């Protein structure tokens, strides 16, 4: 997956997140499965590692997001969040 993040700098501490998968990921069934997996991993990882006041977009990748082991997705998201914070 790819993760993009941006500090809103508006004083609101809410963490907002969006999900997207292009048609390159696969047919509708595959794209929906990939987005469900992204939502599930975000529910687990973001509360502990995301920065308050930031917007995040998780982007599904073709041939990876829908079939990659769940633990690997979780680890990848945690690593990406660390890089966005400047700790990776």
Taking the domains of the chain in order of start, what are their residue ranges?
2-79
Say what the pLDDT of residue 72 is: 95
Q: Which pTM was predicted?
A: 0.90
pLDDT tens, position by position, 43-86: 999 999 999 999 999 999 998 998 999 999 999 999 999 999 88
Q: Which residues on neighbouring strands pair with residue 11, listed in sequence order?
A: none
What is 2-79's CATH number?
3.30.230.10
| pLDDT band, very low/low/confident/very high, at 39 (cuts 50, 70, 90) | very high
The Cα 12–Cα 6 span in angstroms is: 13
In the predicted structure, residue 87 carries a pLDDT above the cut 90:
no
């Amino acid at each position: 997956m790819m993760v993009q993040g941006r500090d809103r700098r508006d004083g609101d501490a809410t963490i907002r997140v969006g999900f997207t998968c292009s048609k390159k990921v696969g047919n509708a069934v595959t794209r929906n499965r990939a987005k469900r997996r992204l939502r599930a991993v975000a529910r687990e990882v973001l509360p502990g590692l995301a920065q308050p006041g930031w917007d995040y977009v998780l982007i599904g990748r073709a041939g990876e997001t829908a079939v990659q082991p769940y633990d690997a997705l979780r680890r990848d998201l945690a690593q990406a969040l660390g890089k966005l914070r400047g700790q990776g």
